[in-house]
Amino acid sequence: MRTPTLDPDLDGFRSVWARALREAAGEPLVVHCCGHGEIARGGASLRPAVRGSERGALLWATTIDVDELPKAVQNGPVGPVLFLPDVCGGGQALAVRFAQRPSGHRRKA
């Protein structure tokens, strides 16, 4: 079990995410994002906030791109991944995720 990363900025989150993918190396990985989140693109994209995030015009440049996380998992060395978006709007984003599930041949789990 790793020590939780608390209140990272965007670069800090990216660094921790890359390290988690490397260190998981075929093993299951649990990713729990807890805090604030914004729904963007008419409800189609969840953007968890990090330290320094801004709403409005800079939302896309200053928040986590949740759409990129599954892509990194599909193309990376990790085993099954459980994402727990414990943020505002997380339930709405999960509904979108179920509608966009990868086909059986593309799934790692």
Whole-number Å distance between alpha carbons of 100 and 109 = 15
pLDDT of the residue at 36:
77
pLDDT of the residue at 25:
82
Whole-number Å distance between alpha carbons of 56 and 107 = 34
Q: What pLDDT, in 10s, does the model give residues 27-85?
A: 888 888 777 777 776 666 777 888 998 888 888 888 888 778 888 888 777 788 888 87
Whole-number Å distance between alpha carbons of 67 and 70 = 6
Whole-number Å distance between alpha carbons of 77 and 63 = 25
Q: Is the dihedral of CA 22, 26, 27, 29 positive or negative?
A: positive
Query: If you average pLDDT over residues 17-21, what whole number do you get?
Result: 88
Rg (CA), the chain: 14
Question: End-to-end alpha-carbon separation of the chain, Å?
Answer: 21
pLDDT of the residue at 59:
82
Residue with structure tokens 């200053």? 62
Look at strands 37-40 and 45-48 and give their pairing.
antiparallel
